[in-house]
Amino acid sequence: MSRCDFKIVLLGSEHVGKTSLVLRFVNCRFNAEIPYQNTVGAAFCAKAMRSKEKDYSIGIWDTAGSERYEAMTRIYYRGAHAAIICYEPSSHESWTRLRHWLHELRTVEDSCKVYLCGTKKDLLDGGFVKREVAEEIVNTYSQDLNGHFLTSSKTGENVDELFQKIVDDLAADVEVMKTVTESRLLLTELDKRKSKKDVCAC
């Protein structure tokens, strides 16, 4: 059983910037000097967050975008409360693949909240790349989802906002909070039993 209240999974093509997004959010850093290294399987990290004066812990699963690991990725989105599906606005291919991920996710976790994330906004704003995915298409597509953010892990723009919106939405969801309360109670009970066992000399 997880000690994190909310499970968030990141999905999307390789090289779209999932790992950079997580590192910017969790460690407040981005280093363009470090050469790109693809994630193998998945990486996990946790962070404490607040919503409406209450504390929550979130567990983030950063999955590999490479199709080589696709079968494995399914393991990570089981039980996810929210998914961030990333695409690069300058890559039509990454957008096509996003739709594939959404379909995959829905077949396994149909109640999972979904947020679209267009990455590398700084490259778009600076005119270094050209938009291949029309804004209207993204807006229409994201209407039935829980949100759409354009982020830059380089500048940090909209990164905290994206994660804060997810935590606020989850904390306001009665059904999600029911399961969070239940698992917190269960964990407290298990901890109590364990500490009793530890002090018992018999």
Ligand X SMILES: Nc1nc2c(ncn2[C@@H]2O[C@H](COP(=O)(O)OP(=O)(O)OP(=O)(O)O)[C@@H](O)[C@H]2O)c(=O)[nH]1
Residue nearest to ligand X (CB): 65
| Cα pseudo-dihedral 141, 147, 151, 153, rounded to 10 | -120
> Closer CB to Mg ion, residue 18 or residue 113?
18
Q: How far apart are CA 26 and CA 178, in angstroms?
A: 27
- The residue range among 5-13, 16-24, 121-129, 186-194 that interacts with Mg ion, by the rule CB under 5 A, is 16-24
Q: Is residue 17 near ligand X by the rule CB under 6 A? A: yes
* Cβ atoms within 10 Å, residue 84: 26
- The Cα 9–Cα 78 span in angstroms is 9
Q: Number of residues interacting with Mg ion: please give it, by CB under 5 A.
A: 3
Cβ proximity to ligand X, 16 vs 170, nearer residue: 16
Contact status: 91 vs ligand X (CB under 6 A): no
Pull the structure tokens for residue 4: 């994190």
**Separation between Cα atoms, residue 58 and residue 61, nearest integer Å:** 10
Residue (67 or 189) nearer to Mg ion, CB: 67
Binding at 32: pick from ligand X, Mg ion, none (beta carbon under 5-8 Å per type): ligand X
Q: Closer to ligand X at the Cβ: 88 or 109?
A: 88
Torsion angle of the four alpha carbons 18, 20, 25, 26, in this order, in degrees rounded to the nearest 10? 100
- Site stretch for ligand X (CB under 6 A), options 31-39, 105-113, 160-168, 179-187: 31-39
* Runs of H (alpha helix) within 82-173: 92-108, 121-125, 135-142, 159-171
Q: Is 20 in the site for ligand X (CB under 6 A)?
A: yes
Dihedral, CA of residue 188, residue 167, residue 179 and residue 83, to nearest 10 = -120
Characterize the bridge pairing of strands 147-150 and 113-118.
Answer: parallel
Question: Can residue 16 be called a binding residue for ligand X (CB under 6 A)?
Answer: yes
Interface with ligand X by CB under 6 A: which range of 53-61, 62-70, 163-171, 184-192?
62-70
Contacting ligand X within 136-175 (CB under 6 A): 152-154
- Site of interaction with ligand X (CB under 6 A): 14-20, 32, 36, 38-39, 64-66, 119-120, 122-123, 152-154
